[in-house]
């Protein structure tokens, strides 16, 4: 018999899929690492497992404990699955920018979810960072993984995602691109790949409204760079410890609209049904690839999560139209078909 002893063993070893249509006119091979094949439908399962196992080892998480985290949903899902397999409770704080689907999913897997306002400063007591920290202080036997500054996050990708990519490309990878939120998936993979071949170029994808690109280019934390945007999971108004700027060669910024339109193209032209930040990663990486990729180059782009979590947003024509992201509705509706 061949089976996983618990859902935990189903984490990792995700497939890599060649992009054949959205890459027209681009030289070289462009491969997508499709992370929705993880059991929680995102790459965050990997770091959730690592953060919990490292906390068990160093004694900060004890049997029967409560895991408290500020999470945009995917980390929560990963933590919730691992917590179920290992017998912990979960409380998550999320910001009100997140899809209702993501919040519903977390509640479905038994977590308590507290929704906090998005447009307040990180040190405001109402922010989802502050609320998570307060609960951690107040609840006995609780553990606050803090995915932003917990280096087990980067380490998870250094130990699993990086080696998988190296093996799947038989060491031929020349370019790696990923959206940067906490920085774990970018920097863990980048560290591993650059150790194998220092010539690998790493491209961080950032949002307009986030501080990363400007900080990389000037060393200045510019508050003017911070303004509201919608793409979920990438860009930040803080500098997380998991972002190691030395491992990221350059950043490309992508608008909410370009990311959303590309995400829909991936579904329709490649059959890869992914989340909004995946469209951002592909759009930004291909902008770079158009100018720089050569015939023999191999670019790998990480696609963090699954499209179902965005059905009421970017996959909804009316929503897209209301936000000015498309001119006209594109998808056929049940009504169109009956007529």
Sheet containing 112-116: which strands, arranged edge to edge? 112-116, 89-95, 66-70, 142-143
Show the binding pattern over residues 196-235: x = contacts ligand PMP (CB under 6 A), - = does not: ------------------------------------xxx-
Choices 22-30, 130-138, 173-181, 288-296; region in contact with ligand PMP by CB under 6 A: 173-181
Give the one residue of 183, 209, 279, 284 binding ligand PMP; rule: CB under 6 A.
Answer: 183
Residues 53-72 that bind ligand PMP (CB under 6 A): 72
Give the one residue of 38, 66, 74, 95 binding ligand PMP; rule: CB under 6 A.
Answer: 74
Residues 34-53 that bind ligand PMP (CB under 6 A): 44
For ligand PMP, the closer of residues 200 and 234 by Cβ is 234
Asked if 304 is part of the footprint of ligand PMP (rule: CB under 6 A), the reply reads yes
Show the binding pattern over residues 273-302: x = contacts ligand PMP (CB under 6 A), - = does not: --x-x-------------------------
Active site residue 191: no
From the list 18, 27, 44, 313, the catalytic residue is 44
Torsion sign across C-alpha atoms 16, 19, 23, 26: positive
Q: What is the number of the residue whose Cβ is closest to ligand PMP?
A: 233
Per-residue exposure over 258-269, b if at least 16 CB sit within 10 Å of its own CB, e if not: bbbbbbbbbbee
Alpha carbon of 282 to those of 23, 231, 288, 316: distances in Å?
9, 13, 10, 20
Strand 16-18 vs strand 29-34: parallel, antiparallel, or unpaired?
Answer: antiparallel
For ligand PMP, the closer of residues 83 and 180 by Cβ is 180
DSSP class of residue 305 equals B
Distance between CA atoms of 236 and 301, rounded to whole angstroms?
A: 20
Closest by alpha carbon to 186, among 136, 240, 133, 120?
240
Q: What is the rounded (10 degree) CA torsion for 254, 176, 55, 64?
A: 60
Minimum Å distance from CB 309 to ligand PMP?
A: 8
Please report, as ranges, the residues that interact with ligand PMP according to CB under 6 A. 44, 72, 74, 179-186, 232-234, 275, 277, 304-305
By annotation, the residues acting in catalysis are 44
């Amino acid at each position: 018999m061949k089976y996983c002893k618990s859902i935990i063993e189903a984490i990792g070893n995700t497939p890599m899929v060649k992009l054949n249509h959205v890459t027209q006119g681009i030289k070289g091979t462009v491969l997508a690492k499709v992370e929705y094949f993880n059991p929680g439908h995102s790459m965050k399962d990997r770091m959730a497992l690592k953060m919990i196992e490292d906390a068990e080892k160093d004694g900060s998480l004890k049997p029967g404990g409560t895991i408290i985290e500020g999470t945009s949903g995917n980390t929560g899902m990963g933590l919730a699955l691992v917590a179920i397999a290992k017998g912990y409770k979960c409380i998550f704080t999320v910001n009100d920018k997140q899809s209702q689907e993501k919040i519903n999913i977390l509640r479905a897997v038994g977590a308590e979810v507290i929704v906090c306002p998005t447009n307040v400063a990180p040190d405001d007591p109402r922010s989802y960072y502050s609320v998570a920290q307060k609960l951690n202080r107040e609840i006995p036997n609780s553990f606050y993984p803090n995915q932003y500054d917990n280096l087990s996050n980067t380490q998870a990708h250094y130990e699993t995602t990086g080696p998988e990519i190296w093996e799947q490309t038989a060491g031929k990878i020349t370019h790696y691109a990923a959206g940067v939120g906490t920085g774990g998936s970018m920097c863990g993979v980048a560290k591993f790949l650059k150790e194998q071949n220092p010539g690998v170029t790493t491209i961080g994808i950032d949002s307009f409204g986030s501080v990363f690109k400007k900080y990389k280019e000037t060393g200045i934390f510019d508050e003017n760079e911070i303004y509201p945007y919608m793409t979920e999971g990438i860009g930040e108004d803080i500098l997380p410890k998991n972002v190691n700027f030395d491992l990221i060669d350059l950043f490309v910024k992508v608008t909410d609209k370009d990311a959303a339109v590309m995400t829909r193209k991936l579904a329709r032209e490649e059959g890869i049904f992914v989340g909004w930040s995946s469209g951002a990663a592909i759009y930004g990486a291909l902008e770079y690839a158009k100018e720089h990729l050569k015939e023999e180059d191999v670019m790998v782009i990480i696609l963090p999560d699954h499209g179902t979590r965005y059905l009421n947003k970017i996959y909804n024509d009316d929503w897209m139209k209301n936000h000015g992201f498309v001119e006209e509705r594109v998808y056929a509706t049940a009504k169109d078909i009956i007529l």
